[in-house]
Amino acid sequence: MTNASSDVAGPRPRDSLGCSVEKLDEDRTIDGGNMTFHRKRSARAPAGRVSTPATGRGYLIGVSASGGHRRRIIREHHSTVHEFEENSIYVRTFSDDYRADLNGSFDFMLLEVSHSALERITDGADIKGVTELNSVAGHADPVLGGMLGALFATVDGQAGRSALFVDQLSAAIGIHLVRQYGNGRAAGKGRRLSMRSQSLLKDLAQSRLAGDVTVEELAGICQLSQATFLRAFRETLGKTPHQWLSQQRIEKAIHLLEFTQAPLREIATLCGFSDQSHFTRAFVQAMGATPGVWRRHRQS
C-alpha cells in the first residue's frame, strides 16, 4: 500500500518484523533469554504493507495493548480481516510468508521465540509432545496481556527491571504459551518445596544478593523443572521468586543496619539494590521507615 509520494521518497526503513519504523512513539526491546520481547506503539499503524518472507526464525506472538487496531491478513487464495481489542492476540509462524495491511492505532507487545527455544521451554514446562504453536488471530488472552504489561510497565518513571524479574516473567510467559497454544499435553503434578530445598535456596540468595540469579538456577538447586518449581515455590512460600529475593535483601540490610556502622550507600550495594534511593524505597515499603530512621531508632 504505497503511493506516488512514497515511491519518490524511496522505500521506508523497516524492522526485522516487516513493519515501517517511521514515527513510532515507542520502540523498546527486552532480552528474555528464551524469548525476545518488543513494545511498539504509534498513534497510527505503520504505513505500507507488513511483509516478511518465510524463514526458520520460529514464531511471533503479538498482544494488542489497546483497542482500535484492524488488520487484513493476505493469504495465497483469500484474505481475512481481524479486529484487535485490548489483549487480543495473534500467533504466527515465520515459516510461512506473511502479508498484512494494518489500519487504526498500533500498540502491540510482541515476543519472538525460536524453534530451539520453544523446545527448551517445553522441556521446562512439563508438557509432552509440543512441536509447534497453533496459529491464531484476534483471540483474547488477558493473562498473557497482563504478564507482558507487567514486563513493560515503568516503576517510578523508570523502565528497568531486575534480571530475576525478567527471567521469572519470561519463564511464566513461556509456560503459558506452550500450555495454551502448543500441540502437546500437560504432565506431572504439583508439589511443595522440601525444607532442604528452601535452605539451599536461601544459601544461594544470601551469597548472590548483589548479583543476578535466574529461575533456571533456582529450579536446578531443587532438581525440578522450571514450571514445577514456580508452582511449588508459590505454594510453599506464598510469593514469587522475585518477591522472595527482595525479602532476602531487606533481611540482609536489617542485619547490617543493626550490627554494623556501614554507610547506607555501602549497604545498598552489598544487598543488591541499584542505588541508595532504590534501597530507601524498598526499605520504606517493607519496614515503614527509611533505613536511617530505622537504624537510629534501634540504636536508641
pLDDT of residue 59: 94
pLDDT of residue 7: 39
Element (H, E) at 111: strand 106-113
Separation of alpha carbons 109 and 62, rounded Å? 6
HSE of 38 in the Cβ direction (CA atoms, 13 Å)? 18
pLDDT of residue 186: 54
pLDDT of residue 238: 80
Q: Are 91 and 61 in contact (CB under 8 A)?
A: yes
pLDDT of residue 175: 87
* Nearest C-alpha neighbor of 228 from the set 170, 177, 186: 186
Separation of alpha carbons 165 and 209, rounded Å? 14
pLDDT of residue 104: 87
Output the nine-digit C-alpha cell for 183: 500441540
Instruction: Indicate yes or no: pTM above 0.75.
Output: no
Residue type, 129: G
Please provide the DSSP assignment of 36-88 as one string. EEEEEEESSPPSS-EEE---SS-EEEEEESSS-EEEEEE-SS-EEEEEE-TTE
pLDDT of residue 62: 93
Residue 149 burial (10 A CB sphere; 0-12, 13-18, 19+) = middle
pLDDT of residue 14: 65
Mean pLDDT of each 10-residue bin along the chain, 300 residues long: 39 64 79 89 79 90 91 84 90 90 90 91 76 86 91 64 84 88 64 83 86 86 86 84 88 90 93 90 90 87
Give long-range contacts, CB 8 A cutoff, 24+ apart: 138-142: 138/82, 138/83, 138/84, 138/88, 138/89, 138/90, 139/88, 139/89, 139/90, 140/85, 140/87, 140/88, 140/89, 141/63, 141/87, 141/88, 141/89, 141/180, 142/87
Output the nine-digit C-alpha cell for 268: 545498598
